[in-house]
Structure 1
Amino acid sequence: MHITVLSSLDTHCRDSAAARLGRTHGNSAVVLHDLLDGSLVLRRVYRGGQLFERETTVLEHGCLSCTVRLDVVPTAERLASCGFDQVVLGLPPGVAAAMAAAELKQALDGRMVIDNAVLAVDPAELEDHMWDRHTLYESGFTAMPEDDRTSGEFLIGELGHVDSVMLFPGLSAGLSGETRIDSAHWRAGTELVGQLAPHAAVIGSADKFTPGCYDHVEAIARTRPGVVRRPPDDATGTFSTVLHALSKPLHPGRFREALPQLAAGTHWMRGRLWIASAANIRITVQGIGPRVWLESTGPWSVEAAAQAKPHTGVDMVLDGHAHHGDRGTVLALTGRSEDVNAQEIRQLLDGCQLTEAEMEAQPAAWDDPFELSKAL
């Protein structure tokens, strides 16, 4: 049996995408899961566009992972035994495709394979989602008060993991009767999808959908903290991505001063940092809309990057250096073209590197303890 995992923030987008995905095979079941208040899971199963099963289940602990493990996965296993050729699993809003895929792969046997991981999104709302400061719970996307992710954080995670992005008008468009397709906001959002997920197939209502694109190993590789994918070559549109690599350590004080300037107006900033005051630690940076954070991912690799074998299309490490190994800074910043000036960004980052004199001097001459809380 073939499985398609479908995620979204918007139930209207998800349901529209699920209906279309259900038509890619002749003998398909479409399952829509929703996590409601009180740890209640609503499950609806469709065959040929007709509802044939509607059940509710009360979970002892109604978190997103329990919903996947105790309802989504058992439903897939049960439908596999019923002889369906394909099952489309429409996840509850806010549930990550990566979580579902990991749980499914643990439970899969020879009868089931994950064909696709798909994100359904209204591109006209994408930019607003990226800058929304509210949590998923505050925005009403999940019933979990503990879910403090923003919509931008969820979408960046999904755009990195999925192999396909389906474009449909969202719930707000349906309620207002607004025609969004081919509007200026729709076109801009579609372009932004291409910058944020250059690996993914972007599928509009008239575009062909190709089953069988999901590669779990590749999806995990490209979403590792600190990994930077090479941006699309076309930088002449509304949005663009600037990629810059540095081979010298960063002065902690100068970088802390530069970080707010780098983050301002940037929809998505990601990469890894070689900070002089923590030279042995690989620090990753991520900025999504209004949120920016840094974290340690442990020591740098002792092997030179020239000996590494990166996954296709993924810039895993810098060119190797006999003494530095894989140490180095790599940053990518995506935003509106008027806000991400490549020359200014590169000059700003170049100025954060230690000078030759600073590298020759004792650490006390430049050391400024790099406190992450101050950097933010």
Structure 2
Amino acid sequence: MTISVLGGFWPHATSEAASALLAKYPGLRLVRYESPRPGVLARTGAVEIPYGDDPAGALIRDLAAVVDGGKPSELIVVLPEAYEPDEIRTAWHAHTGGAPLSLTTVVPADLVMDGVADDTVLRAVDLHRTAADERSVGEVVCRQIEQADTVLFAGPPDGDDAWEAEQLRILLHRMAPWSQHRSLADLGLPAEGHSEPLAPLTRGLRGRTVGVHAPLPEHGVVAVVFHARRPLHPGRLHEALDEITDRVVRSRGHFWLASRPDLVMTWESAAGLSLGPTSGWLADLPDECWNDVDDERRLATEIDWDPYYGDRSQHLAFIGIDLDPVRLHRTLAGCLLTDDELSRGPDVWRRWADPFTRSYPAPPVTTTARPRDGL
């Protein structure tokens, strides 16, 4: 049995896609989920399901019961608005051990750009799922696109302008270059999807691209990947944030600050900019702990190892319209440490004033011995 999951922020668009699939493939069975209020999940024709702090896990447990209790058939599952593909993918494979699953995000052409730029927090529109859910509409829309196995383009943009439609198509491809892209006109049952989370923010840690480097404009769309080894100066980066994000529709990736060389920081911008720690660097791990690290990340680190920096690096992708790639690159490069600053070493860097201190926990009191060459 193959399960095709339809998601997206606009219920009318996912419903339109589901109806088109049911009309084209009469043997399909539809399972629809909604979230009538925060903390509660509802499947059509079933009782409400409280989910606590695990909305994706609750949905997958219920879906697994549907699969086990029903007749063998292809399933189409429709998700509530605020669910992201990676969390569904993770919960499904944890529960089933790897049964086939395909995740499609449906985006209405006339609304998606407004959605990407919408900084309204989900709580303000009563779509938050837990008390700790601080996501914005723009963050959710971008993640749904980037994490999808297939991005389904529904309808024309406002005005039915062919040039704008092509611009939007290119933009979506730049946002999710690892996904299949289709329109409702060529709709078919999606192929089996990715078995692991796509995790666009941290793909660079696993040796994968965080985006497409296409600095030449195509219908006004520009995509730039910035990669560097040196750390970023916290003060200069903070001062340059407005310039860096100017004309940027979406940016993502990982980076490191000289003031916190122990932390891998993630970078994510859509309607706003979000920065925060995600893990430590493998350079700080004793050799005997490396076998406990994810195989893909460990291999990528060993291939790209630097004798001084270890696995520390900046790996950021920017997608925008009428974006100046040279100016962006020079601005980011200007935030890297100079030779003189670099020569002062981590003990000095840690004492620099840091406007980002609210974004991560206090520095560790002790440091781990580093058997490998590095900082």
Q: Give TM-score scaled by structure 2 length.
A: 0.78
Counterpart residue identity of residue 335, structure 1: G
Which of 332, 337, 356 aligns to 1:354? It is 337
Please list the CA deviations of residues 19-76 of structure 1 after superposition, one character each: whole Å capped at 9, or x if unmatched.
23345655310122222148665534xxxxxxxxxx25234x466844x544564245
Matched, 1:238 2:220: yes
Counterpart residue identity of residue 142, structure 2: I
2:202 aligns to what? 224
Please list the CA deviations of residues 262-303 of structure 1 after superposition, one character each: whole Å capped at 9, or x if unmatched.
1222121222223222223222222222x2122123332229
Counterpart residue identity of residue 352, structure 1: C
How much has 1:191 moved relative to structure 2?
2.4
Please list the CA deviations of residues 76-103 of structure 1 after superposition, one character each: whole Å capped at 9, or x if unmatched.
5334433232111101111223333333
Matched, 1:57 2:47: yes
Counterpart residue identity of residue 77, structure 1: A
Task: Indicate conservation of the 8 Å contact 1:6/1:97, yes or no.
Answer: no
Question: Cα gap change, 1:239/1:28 in structure 2, threshold over 3 Å: closer, same or farther?
Answer: same
2:121 aligns to what? 135
How much has 1:226 moved relative to structure 2?
6.2
Percent identical: 19
**SS of 2:317's equivalent?**
strand
How much has 1:137 moved relative to structure 2?
3.9
Tell me the distance in 1 between the aligned counterparts of 2:267 and 2:232: 13
Matched, 1:370 2:360: no
Higher mean alpha-carbon deviation, 31-40 vs 225-234, is at 225-234
Task: Indicate conservation of the 8 Å contact 1:124/1:189, yes or no.
Answer: no
Tell me the distance in 2 between the aligned counterparts of 1:300 and 1:16: 45
Counterpart residue identity of residue 155, structure 1: V
2:326 aligns to what? 343
Task: Indicate conservation of the 8 Å contact 2:201/2:252, yes or no.
Answer: no
Tell me the distance in 2 between the aligned counterparts of 1:347 and 1:157: 28
Counterpart residue identity of residue 288, structure 1: A
Which of 85, 93, 107 aligns to 1:105? It is 93
Matched, 1:272 2:254: yes
Matched, 1:161 2:140: no
Matched, 1:152 2:138: yes
Please list the CA deviations of residues 125-144 of structure 1 after superposition, one character each: whole Å capped at 9, or x if unmatched.
22211221212343465687
Tell me the distance in 2 between the aligned counterparts of 1:180 and 1:200: 27
Counterpart residue identity of residue 355, structure 1: T
1:195 aligns to what? 174
Task: Indicate conservation of the 8 Å contact 1:252/1:275, yes or no.
Answer: yes
**SS of 1:224's equivalent?**
helix
Tell me the distance in 1 between the aligned counterparts of 2:213 and 2:159: 25
1:261 aligns to what? 243
Counterpart residue identity of residue 206, structure 1: A
Task: Indicate conservation of the 8 Å contact 2:202/2:210, yes or no.
Answer: no
Counterpart residue identity of residue 89, structure 1: V
How much has 1:179 moved relative to structure 2?
7.3
Which of 105, 108, 114 aligns to 1:122? It is 108
Task: Indicate conservation of the 8 Å contact 1:132/1:151, yes or no.
Answer: yes
Tell me the distance in 2 between the aligned counterparts of 1:231 and 1:57: 45
Q: Give TM-score scaled by structure 1 length.
A: 0.78
Counterpart residue identity of residue 313, structure 2: G
Alignment RMSD (CA, Å):
3.6
Tell me the distance in 1 between the aligned counterparts of 2:38 and 2:218: 49
Task: Indicate conservation of the 8 Å contact 2:4/2:75, yes or no.
Answer: yes
Higher mean alpha-carbon deviation, 182-191 vs 5-14, is at 182-191
Structure 2 unaligned spans of 5+: 288-293, 361-375
Please list the CA deviations of residues 328-349 of structure 1 after superposition, one character each: whole Å capped at 9, or x if unmatched.
222221111x2x2111111112
Structure 1 unaligned spans of 5+: 45-54
Task: Indicate conservation of the 8 Å contact 1:358/1:366, yes or no.
Answer: no
Counterpart residue identity of residue 205, structure 1: L
Question: Cα gap change, 1:91/1:317 in structure 2, threshold over 3 Å: closer, same or farther?
Answer: farther
1:50 aligns to what? none
**SS of 1:326's equivalent?**
coil
Question: Cα gap change, 1:114/1:180 in structure 2, threshold over 3 Å: closer, same or farther?
Answer: farther
Task: Indicate conservation of the 8 Å contact 1:180/1:186, yes or no.
Answer: no
Bigger fraction of residues in helix? 2
**SS of 1:17's equivalent?**
helix
